[in-house]
Chain A
Amino acid sequence: MESHVRFWRVVLLAPPLLVFGLFVLWPLADSFRYSVTNWNGFSADAAFVGLENFRKIFTDGLFANAIVNSAIWMAAALVLPTGAGLALALLLDSGVRGAGVFKSIFYLPICLSSVVVGQIWIWIFQPDWGLLNTALSAASGETFGFAWLAKPGTALYAVIVAWSWQQTGLAMVIFLAGLTAIPRDLLEAAEVDGVAYLKQISHIILPMLRPATVVVIALSVINSLKGFDILYIMTGGGPFNSSDTLAMFMYDESFKKYKMGYGSAISVVLFVITLTIIFVYFKELKKMDEIYE
């Protein structure tokens, strides 16, 4: 009986474990392996270089640039969709007319692929006939021809706007679900006690939205770490690496400059950063279980 159970456990768990091993663990182990070589990505020979790649990373100006951009990217991805999503959720939950329609509209971008979203915003930022410049021209009365995506000062931020626009719907939906879970009585009790709406938000709604907030923040961070395709479509990391993030930097070094060993080392650093963030997230999640049923 006992061995029977064990047999089926093994049989049933084997396929997913095999897939996970083959497509996650193996490549992961491979990146660790390549990260201590000078492999170029296709040749048969690769020499062991020890921690040389890592030493190089921490002296590479492009890496520092990518780290700073990644930090900006992540901070923006954290703050903008979360804030906008929360504001929209509060607004739509307060029973404004047509809330259902607006929920769908704001959620729509999430259903689009990043490539499509990127293309939409390329058109919006297009210097000559893009929506943004057309609007600015109309508002100011002067011809406005700024190349948002082609200027180092604005490229990263333009992509951040596009990215936030897409991610806001997701945050909104999660916050809306969180709001629905707050009993109406709680806010009515506060209302009878003469607590102003803004104080209800800060003292009741936000604390009670903590579980939803943790989910939104975690998703924002994880998505922002994965947020490679929209950058690739809109700027490709340019101009002059001004919108390079770690993922973009890794891609460039590995596949454009044929430094697979160096690229793997960057991916290892990215992996460690991701792991740290996820670790913090789970600790936070556990703390919350102790407060809420």
Chain B
Amino acid sequence: MSDVAIEAVTKTFGAVSIIKGVDLAIPTGEFAVFVGPSGCGKSTLLRMISGLESVSSGTIRIGDVDVTRRPPAEGGTAMVFQSYALYPHMSVSENMSFGLRMNGAPRAEIERRVGEAARILQLEQLLDRRPKQLSGGQRQRVAIGRAIVRHPKVFLFDEPLSNLDASLRVQMRVEIARLHQEIGATMIYVTHDQVEAMTLADRIVVLNAGKVEQVGTPLDLYERPANLFVAGFLGQPSMNILDACVHAADGTQVSIRVAHGPLIGLELAAGHGLAAGEPVKLGIRPDAIRLQPRGRGEMPADVEIVEHLGDEVIAYLRLPGTPEAIIAKLEKSSGVRVGDACAIGFAVPELHVFGTDGLARTRLAHSA
């Protein structure tokens, strides 16, 4: 087990810059998740850590070893691929023991480790099967087993659950979380699925277009997104982003007029740099929206679509006479119906303020 340090790492393919300067420190034993839209460079960064991809500039260190220019074998990482990458002509146990056998590990040791991995992953009954004879979930467990037997310094997962169907994905997600608890190794996990990221991670690294947008615990990122990208990317349904305008700014006291809506007063940390008349964006999570009877609330709206999810209801609201739609996540007891004329109420403490630069302005607690 080791920590991983990534410093000023870049990657270019020909003239195209894919990773544009990434700094990260992943402490020993942490479950770090790289999340971001497809094509943002998650796999490339992971493959650079493994040594499969060369590093254009910067350094990568695993434990005490600078692995920037080392071949994959010397990094001490083990990788689990989205495609499972199992050898079709080998049995489950041969697949798991392959790396050890090829590197001349003693037989008894190989057997012990394969047995241990098979126990952890409940593969004991399947050791003699060929990959072809396994289900998708079982194949993925074998791929994980192949990583476990090597006792790597760092586990690398590249979208390991993407090929599984939805229910199996949830089940394997739990197993991976359990695996991390049981062996406590450093793990770096790549996914484009924000639910996987939120549920698995000790810390999430949000990547976008080859850059780190924000690093933090799942709750951190959810409650205090540093910018519009992170705000929009994490959370399901996405955060509502409303156009607004600074009405007045007096020190930390700022009042903001929502387009087609109310005037809201709140307190921002010093240095927010906002001045009266400046456009801003207001972010509000769907679950922070309250529906009120028309006339009482500040922002009239019509209910366009209602989705029942069982325990909760998603309502798509339209502000009359505008193209703007707002999504609300409500209690199932809210009794909202299509065609209802209502008004939107904000839980002001849960509003996020973003400047024209896309960066969040820090709210001060107890602001009203």
CB atoms of B102 and A194 under 8 A apart: yes
List, in ascending order, chain B residues with CB within 8 A of A291's CB. Answer: 88-89, 130, 132
A60 at the interface (CB under 8 A from B): no
Residue in contact with A204 in the complex, picked from B51, B73, B83, B87, CB distance below 8 Å: B87
CB atoms of B85 and A208 under 8 A apart: no
CB atoms of A188 and B81 under 8 A apart: yes
Docked Cα-Cα span, A185 to B13, in Å, equals 19
Residues of B within 8 A of A (CB): 50-52, 71-75, 77-79, 81, 83, 85-89, 98-99, 102-103, 130, 132, 146, 150
Docked Cα-Cα span, A291 to B131, in Å, equals 10
Known contacts A204-B87, A208-B89, A292-B88; A188/B102 CB under 8 A: no
Residue in contact with B79 in the complex, picked from A189, A195, A208, A210, CB distance below 8 Å: A189
CB atoms of B51 and A193 under 8 A apart: no
List, in ascending order, chain A residues with CB within 8 A of B52's CB. Answer: 188, 191-192
Interface string of A261-293 (1 = CB under 8 A from B): 000000000000000000000000000000111
CB atoms of B150 and A193 under 8 A apart: yes
Docked Cα-Cα span, A194 to B70, in Å, equals 12
Q: Taking CB as reference atom, which chain A residue is nearest B143?
A: A189
Residue in contact with B73 in the complex, picked from A192, A208, A292, CB distance below 8 Å: A192
Report the interface size class on chain A: 20 to 34
Known contacts A192-B78, A203-B98; A186/B85 CB under 8 A: yes
20 pairs from A and B in contact (CB 8 Å cutoff): A185-B83, A186-B85, A189-B146, A191-B71, A191-B72, A191-B73, A192-B50, A192-B51, A192-B52, A192-B75, A193-B73, A193-B103, A203-B102, A207-B87, A208-B87, A291-B88, A291-B89, A291-B130, A291-B132, A292-B132
Residue in contact with B87 in the complex, picked from A186, A188, A196, A293, CB distance below 8 Å: A186
CB atoms of B88 and A192 under 8 A apart: no
CB atoms of A193 and B83 under 8 A apart: no
Docked Cα-Cα span, A210 to B98, in Å, equals 19
List, in ascending order, chain A residues with CB within 8 A of B88's CB. Answer: 208, 291-293
CB atoms of A194 and B89 under 8 A apart: no
Residue in contact with A207 in the complex, picked from B77, B89, B150, CB distance below 8 Å: B89
A196-244 at interface with B (beta carbon < 8 Å): 196, 199, 203-204, 207-208, 210
Q: Taking CB as reference atom, which chain A residue is nearest B80?
A: A189
CB atoms of B99 and A194 under 8 A apart: yes
Residue in contact with A195 in the complex, picked from B78, B86, B99, B130, CB distance below 8 Å: B99
Nearest-neighbour CB distance to chain A for B81, whole angstroms, equals 5
List, in ascending order, chain B residues with CB within 8 A of A190's CB. Answer: 98-99, 102
Docked Cα-Cα span, A203 to B89, in Å, equals 9
Residue in contact with B81 in the complex, picked from A189, A196, A207, CB distance below 8 Å: A189
Interface string of A164-204 (1 = CB under 8 A from B): 00000000000000000001011011111111100100011
CB atoms of A193 and B87 under 8 A apart: no
List, in ascending order, chain B residues with CB within 8 A of A189's CB. Answer: 79, 81, 85, 146
Question: Which of A186, A192, A291 lies at the interface centre, i.e. has the most chain B CB atoms within 10 A of its CB?
Answer: A192
List, in ascending order, chain A residues with CB within 8 A of B103's CB. Answer: 193-195
List, in ascending order, chain B residues with CB within 8 A of A204's CB. Answer: 87
List, in ascending order, chain A residues with CB within 8 A of B50's CB. Answer: 192
Docked Cα-Cα span, A138 to B321, in Å, equals 93
Docked Cα-Cα span, A12 to B234, in Å, equals 64
Nearest-neighbour CB distance to chain A for B270, whole angstroms, equals 49
Q: Taking CB as reference atom, which chain B residue is nearest A199?
A: B102
Docked Cα-Cα span, A244 to B221, in Å, equals 81
Known contacts A192-B72, A192-B79; A293/B132 CB under 8 A: yes
Docked Cα-Cα span, A43 to B242, in Å, equals 104
Q: Taking CB as reference atom, which chain B residue is nearest A185?
A: B85
Nearest-neighbour CB distance to chain A for B188, whole angstroms, equals 13
Residue in contact with B102 in the complex, picked from A186, A192, A195, A208, CB distance below 8 Å: A195
List, in ascending order, chain B residues with CB within 8 A of A191's CB. Answer: 52, 71-73
Docked Cα-Cα span, A58 to B95, in Å, equals 52
List, in ascending order, chain A residues with CB within 8 A of B146's CB. Answer: 189, 193
Docked Cα-Cα span, A194 to B71, in Å, equals 9
Q: Taking CB as reference atom, which chain A residue is nearest B71?
A: A191
